[in-house]
Amino acid sequence: MRKWKALIVDDEELARRLLREMLAQHAEIEIAAECGNGMDAVKAAAEHKPDLLFLDVQMPKLTGFDVLELIERENTAVIFVTAYDQYAMKAFDVHAVDYLLKPYSRERFEAALERAKTQKTAKPLDAGELAAAARPAGQFAERIVVKDGTKVTLIPVAKLDYAEATDDYVTLVSEGKKHLKQQTISGLEMALDPAQFVRIHRSYVVNLERVARIEPYGKDSKVAILANGARVPVSKAGFARLKELLEEKK
Amino acid sequence: MARIKFTGAQHLIFWLGWIGFGLVLAGMLHVKPGMPVLNAIYFGIGISGIAQLSAWSAGFSCRTAPLAKTPSWRLALTHLAAAVLLTLLWMQLTLFLAKVMNAVSGWEGTASYVTFRTGLIFGAGIFYYLLSVAINYALIAQKESQKAQELALESSMRAREAELSALKAQINPHFLYNSLNSISALTSIDPARAREMCVSLADFLRLTLGMGEKGVIPLREELGLLEKYCAIEKVRFGERLALKEQVEESAKNCLLPPLLLQPLFENAVVHGIAQMPEGGWICLKAERSGERLMLTVENSWDPEAGSSRRNGVGLKNVQRRLEARYGSAAQLQASAEENVFRVTMQFPAEEEAKK
């Protein structure tokens, strides 16, 4: 059997060293890389395609859950390592293999490793479902994480103009730029505040604050004109939803 | 104006006053002029009843002329004038009533009995009114003292509550778990440092737990606690945490409630330093200008990171505790400009007594 590749992600150096030490006894596992923040982790995951990922949750800028949204998880066993037990539950929601609560014993570590080796990982969740699992109930996303190659961008929702469904992806349009994210349009819709973002079409979600006006288009349909001139088609159902929301706002 | 509620004591005074005064008046009418005893008693209590109205009105004039705030001449003038006016009015009513009673069989001559004692009754009326004034003032004073006691109790309870929650916030479990994890790591990497950190952590906790009971501590002691706290956090963050200090010597002896600065430092670490991959800095300034002590905790931060965590429970606690001790003499301000978050506190400087 070939060696397993492991990736260690934690913003505290000592925490990483401890994991390294615990793994040192396992000749069958090789540490491909250590990362001190989420951005580096996304890069390293793309580069090394690890079998095993030790992931801290509380990290600056990008949290462990954000990282999960952005990496290929098909063949990666994820073990959360965190001081916060509230995330322990969510670890299972997002189909992580196990979680380690800091400080953890060697026994606990070994148990988690064993699970990773023997367990077949369930199908990883959609990025939107992942993000939703990470957020406390009732809260909506304040920013969307996207990846351009290995570069990670954080889009504040206020700056998101609209999103368009493209095959298995969504295209997010913000500040004149387009970003691709592996997510369903419905998944994105769920994550966003419905008072601010409306699904005006089967393939489009628009930021209400960006809509300048709505014009008729062709015989039956309408089109929304955004402040920056972009045109977004509006379906019948979408228009009804839009009207309802605008009525409520008055 | 507060609704007038009558307590048990007030009821008693009211009834005693009425009956008592009535009997006095009866006595005046019976002894000497010789009004029949029963008549005198009925009449006496009757007009005493009318007198109760003016006695009751004394309460209002007492409230509008509080003892402490009104100059004596005003007090004398107000109450004497009221006494004379009201008593005159009462006399008129009494005489009228006496004349009416004349026509009733068995009550002949009532008017002449009353007229015989006009002077004395008038005097009694004045005296009774002034007595009511005195009693009203006494009742007001009693109520105020009660209110002051309740306020003091409430204030001390709130102070204790605030201290308790400040204390609870100190025993931040995540701080503990992360620190213990670091110690766990150090045990094989650098056992000496592991031991050091164990001791630092224990010292820090011991200090924190001991401090809640003290009313005030010298700034010097709070700085000692901060040092321990920062030493522990430095192990976790390493190069990512830079600390700066500008503390005036004259400030170090000033007394202040314990655990005011430590929560601010913790906020700075959790919301500032920990949110930035490259880390940041925290700066503490303590200045004393005459009678005021000014403390500032500044830290670098990324305004875009973790915007939802600005609930500031720790900050609110600090504010409440400052209020509890200094009232309006203390000020607390939190501000953010560009990449710096700043909390400034100002309050009266108290020095510890020279031993």
> Which residue in B177, B237, B308 is closest to A103 by CB distance?
B177
| Contact between chains at B181 and A139 (C-beta distance less than 8 A) | no
Nearest CA distance, A112 vs chain B (angstrom): 17
CA distance A198 to A201: 9
* pLDDT > 70 fraction of chain B, expressed in percent and rounded: 90
pTM above 0.90, yes or no: no
Q: Which of residues B349 and B70 earns the better pLDDT score?
A: B349
Q: What is the pLDDT of residue B60?
A: 85
| Contact between chains at B235 and A84 (C-beta distance less than 8 A) | no
- Chain A residues inside the 8 Å CB shell of B304: 154, 156
**pLDDT band of B1, cuts 50, 70, 90:** very low
CA distance A127 to A69: 5
* pLDDT > 90 fraction of chain B, expressed in percent and rounded: 23
Q: Which residue in chain A has the smallest CA separation from B179?
A: A103
Whether residue B148 has pLDDT greater than 90 = no
| Contact between chains at A14 and B308 (C-beta distance less than 8 A) | no
Q: Looking at residues B332-339, what average pLDDT do you find?
A: 90
Q: Tell me the sheet residues that pair with A81.
A: A56, A100
Q: Which of residues B4 and A227 earns the better pLDDT score?
A: A227
Q: What is the pLDDT of residue A249?
A: 67
Integer angstrom CA distances of residue A9 from A50, A76, B23, B274: 12, 14, 95, 15
**pLDDT band of B100, cuts 50, 70, 90:** confident
Interchain CB contacts (distance < 8 Å): A and B: 63
- Chain B residues inside the 8 Å CB shell of A11: 274, 277
pLDDT digits (tens, 9 = 90+) for B193-236: 999 899 989 888 888 777 766 778 899 999 998 999 999 999 88
Q: Which of residues B310 and B155 earns the better pLDDT score?
A: B155
pLDDT digits (tens, 9 = 90+) for B154-185: 766 766 665 666 556 556 777 888 899 999 99
| Contact between chains at A60 and B305 (C-beta distance less than 8 A) | yes
**Domain extents in chain B:** 8-153, 171-351
Q: Looking at residues B246-268, what average pLDDT do you find?
A: 89
| Contact between chains at B276 and A61 (C-beta distance less than 8 A) | yes
| Contact between chains at A84 and B274 (C-beta distance less than 8 A) | no
Q: What is the pLDDT of residue B2?
A: 46
Nearest CA distance, A91 vs chain B (angstrom): 18
| Contact between chains at A102 and B275 (C-beta distance less than 8 A) | no
Q: What is the pLDDT of residue A121?
A: 54
Whether residue B308 has pLDDT greater than 50 = no
Instruction: State which amino acid sits at residue A186.
Output: S
| Contact between chains at A60 and B275 (C-beta distance less than 8 A) | yes
- Chain A residues inside the 8 Å CB shell of B308: 139, 142
Q: Looking at residues B316-329, what average pLDDT do you find?
A: 82
Q: Looking at residues B187-192, what average pLDDT do you find?
A: 91
Best residue of A13, A14, A107 to probe chain B, by most B CBs closer than 10 Å: A14
Is B171-351 a CATH 3.40.50.300 domain?
A: no
pLDDT digits (tens, 9 = 90+) for B109-147: 778 878 888 888 888 888 988 888 898 888 888 888 998
Q: What is the pLDDT of residue B280?
A: 93
Q: Which domains are delineated in chain A?
A: 4-133 (3.40.50.2300), 144-249 (2.40.50.1020)
For chain A, the DSSP string reads: -PPEEEEEE-SSHHHHHHHHHHHHT-TTEEEEEEESSHHHHHHHHHHH--SEEEEES--SSS-HHHHHHHS--TT-EEEEEES-THHHHHHHHTT-SEEEESS--HHHHHHHHHHHHHPPPPPPPPHHHHHHHHSPTT---SEEEEEETTEEEEEEGGGEEEEEEETTEEEEEETTEEEEESS-HHHHHHHS-TTTEEEEETTEEEEGGGEEEEEEETTTEEEEEETTS-EEEE-HHHHHHHHHHHHHH-
> Which residue in B181, B238, B276 is closest to A83 by CB distance?
B181
CA distance A27 to A6: 12
Least confident among B21-35, B72-86, B158-172: B158-172
Residues in A whose CB is inside 8 Å of some CB of B read 11-15, 17-18, 21, 36-37, 39, 58-61, 83-84, 101-104, 139, 142, 154, 156
Q: What is the pLDDT of residue B155?
A: 67
Low-confidence ranges of chain A (pLDDT < 70): 1, 89, 120-134, 136-138, 249-250
Q: What is the pLDDT of residue A140?
A: 82
Per-chain mean pLDDT for chain B: 84
Nearest CA distance, B236 vs chain A (angstrom): 6
Q: Tell me the sheet residues that pair with B242.
A: B281
| Tally of helices (H runs) and strands (E runs) in chain B | 10, 8
| Contact between chains at B182 and A14 (C-beta distance less than 8 A) | yes
| Contact between chains at A60 and B304 (C-beta distance less than 8 A) | no
- Chain B residues inside the 8 Å CB shell of A156: 304
| Contact between chains at A101 and B177 (C-beta distance less than 8 A) | yes
- Chain A residues inside the 8 Å CB shell of B183: 103
| Contact between chains at A142 and B181 (C-beta distance less than 8 A) | no
| Pairing between β-strand B280-289 and β-strand B217-218 as defined by DSSP bridges | unpaired
Best residue of A8, A9, A10, A12 to probe chain B, by most B CBs closer than 10 Å: A12
Instruction: State which amino acid sits at residue B156.
Output: S
